[in-house]
Chain A
Amino acid sequence: MMPTKVAVLIMRGICKRWALKDCGSKVRKAMLAICACFGILPVAGARAEAKDGDVELGAYLSAECVTCHQVNAQTEEIPQIAGLDPNAFMAAMQAYKAKQREHPIMQMMAGRLNDEEIVALAAYFSTLE
């Protein structure tokens, strides 16, 4: 008779490859597809302009940006806000949203901005010196 027996075996942090994989990858893919659709629209279609944006909404939303981006101070890795070209800004946000442009934080932050909000931000930023 076996004097000892193995009953349970648990290994923690089992697999590096699993850890690397994003558990939400399905959700991610779906989001990507959705974002890509919407992302193309404003560029190809009606062409939203910064001047049409809701400046007050933009000011509120911009509070999220200035946690990392200073308005008037350029730092090594994180660009400043003042002086951004509104169209370049809107295109950049759409590109992050569609995950065509790399950067995990920017993809995440832009990922939840809708088109109205992106235009609002552009509108607000163009009021800054």
Chain B
Amino acid sequence: MATGVKTRVKLPKQVRAGEVVTIKTLITHRMESGHRLDSDNQPIPRSIIHRFLCEFEGELVIDLDIGPGISTNPFFEFQALVPGPGVFTFIWFDDDGAIYTDSRAISVMS
């Protein structure tokens, strides 16, 4: 398993119903492209986050296929319309089979 993986998410805790919010996510990850050689000139095996998913109460918000050209510690920023209170779930899929998740509840002002 990749070492030192840490996820980070930022979005407002509370919004008005129907408001569009900006969501920022980051995962601390090596993102080894598979194109590099080690000191013995052997290829370093690819090990990247190849897919990132965000859902809101089971509805898909964004689903990304990620290639080996993405730099270390991938950062994504996107916007989503929040229809009502609920929970955003974030899922990162690692080449090595590991799955990292994070979630954030958002409430709606009355």
Contact = CB atoms under 8 A, between A and B. Distances in A.
Interface of A: 2-17, 19
A21 to B, nearest CB: 12
A14 B75 CA distance: 9
Interface residues of B, number: 24
A15 B80 contact: no
B80 A5 contact: yes
Contacts, number: 62
A35 B61 CA distance: 53
B69 A6 contact: no
Contacts of B80: 4-7
A4 B59 contact: yes
Contacts of B79: 6-8
A7 B20 contact: yes
B32 to A, nearest CB: 11
Contact of B76 (A4, A7, A11): A11
